Amino acid sequence: MERERKFLVDRLPDDLGPAVAIRQGYLALDGNVQVRVRRADNECTLTVKGGRGRDRTEVETTITVEQFDDLWPLTEGRRIEKARHRVPLVDGLTAEVDLYAAAHAGLQVVEVEFPENADPDAFVPLPWFGRDVTDDARYSNADLATAGESPH
């Protein structure tokens, strides 16, 4: 189970730290079920997600770079590129700041994932967090991957 909240970024924090380049493409999109491949530097995964919003089913498995390269062409027309920065927060949480590229250049989003026993609604966003878009499907990576332009 994945529990998260997603926000637009009003202003980037000073302590972003290094970025990880991410290429992500969708093999299948069927309603609220998604199958994607992701390459983050040299770490590759195949992920199945079900549901939308705060609580979602997520099953992820590691794949080889060769497997990613074999599957990548099947994602044409359903891709995103972004740089991800991880910013440590209180209580062991991490803010994942995504700076999108290509068709979504300029879009800046921050996600915070929560343990299963935590209440995501109890989280108080930091001053640099912007509008909460957790339940706005236009900001899901799957929707962004198929949209011609960003909703911002």
**pLDDT value for 64:** 98
The pTM assigned to this predicted structure is 0.92
Active site residue 26: yes
Render pLDDT for 103-121 as a digit per residue (tens, 0 to 9): 999 999 999 999 988 899 9
151 in any annotated domain: no
Number of domains in the chain: 1
Residue 80 sits in a domain whose CATH number is 2.40.320.10
Which pair of structure tokens corresponds to residue 141? 């990576």
Q: For residue 80, what pLDDT is reported?
A: 97
pLDDT grade, residue 53 (50/70/90)?
A: confident
Q: What confidence tens digit (pLDDT) does each residue in 5-38 have?
A: 999 999 999 889 899 999 999 999 998 999 999 9
For the stretch 62-82, pLDDT in tens is 999 999 999 999 999 999 999
The residue segments making up the domain with residue 77 are: 2-146
Q: Are strands 108-114 and 94-100 parallel, antiparallel or unpaired?
A: antiparallel
Question: What letter does residue 24 receive in the DSSP assignment?
Answer: E
Point out the catalytic residue in the list 26, 100, 129, 139.
Answer: 26
